[in-house]
Amino acid sequence: MRGPGRIDSVSHVLEGLARRLGLETALLENRLRRDWVAVVGEPIASNTRPDQIRFKKLYLLVRNSVWLHQLTFLKPALLQKLNRVAGGELITDLVLRVGELPDAGYLLASPAILRETVSPPSATLLDEISAHVTGIQDPLLRVRLTLLMAQVLTQPGAPKAG
């Protein structure tokens, strides 16, 4: 009679399956897109986006030529960090290209987002908040600040507007 065999963890089984099916690169691409800020840090993440991995090369979109130049000096450190995240040497080179970065998925102003606050803000409150944020030039920042102010001011015990 045979003794009990070794039991593999689910993650170990899935890693082996992904390797056999050739999905390691696709999984790494998705993980990098999802966790880009955590992997490379905020300064780099706000000026770059991972595009694709082809033939062990990670193609990065870079906001402008200044960042492209800076990243050429950071390539060895970035490669080391990326391969540490990948758990092996899945990326051997970085290809940097200047291009328009896709939207980072920030929340935009919509009635649905405003309804998620504790109590819906009144039209008067929204008008007052809008008056305070009109001087902000960046539209995304203006929207985010409006949402934050509406959420804070509609919570129970919050200070009254005015």
pLDDT tens-digit series, residues 72-128: 999 999 999 999 988 888 899 999 999 888 765 443 334 444 444 456 778 888 888
Q: Which two tokens stand for residue 152?
A: 């804070």
pLDDT tens-digit series, residues 16-36: 777 788 788 888 888 899 889
Residues 111 and 74: beta-carbon distance below 8 Å: no
Q: How far apart are CA 79 and CA 90, in angstroms?
A: 10
Residues 85 and 39: beta-carbon distance below 8 Å: yes
Confidence of residue 48 (pLDDT cuts 50, 70, 90): very high
Give CATH 3.30.300.180 domain extents, the chain. Answer: 10-98
Question: How high is the pLDDT of residue 59?
Answer: 94
What is the average pLDDT across 125-138? 82
Question: How high is the pLDDT of residue 2?
Answer: 62
Q: What are the residues whose beta carbons fall under 8 Å from the beta carbon of 143, sequence distance 6 or more?
A: 107, 108, 109
- Interior CA angle at 114 toward 142 and 132, to 5°? 35
Question: How high is the pLDDT of residue 112?
Answer: 44
Q: Is the pLDDT of residue 61 over 90?
A: yes
Residue 51: strand, helix, or coil: strand
Q: Is the pLDDT of residue 4 over 70?
A: no
Question: How high is the pLDDT of residue 114?
Answer: 43
Sheet holding 48-54, edge to edge: 48-54, 57-62, 93-98
Q: Which amino acid is at 125?
A: L
| CATH architecture observed for domain 10-98 | 2-Layer Sandwich (3.30)
Q: How far apart are CA 110 and CA 123, in angstroms?
A: 14
Q: Which two tokens stand for residue 88?
A: 């092996």
Q: Which two tokens stand for residue 141?
A: 């920042």
Q: How far apart are CA 47 and CA 61, in angstroms?
A: 8
Q: How far apart are CA 131 and CA 107, in angstroms?
A: 21
Q: How far apart are CA 148 and CA 107, in angstroms?
A: 11
Question: How high is the pLDDT of residue 3?
Answer: 61
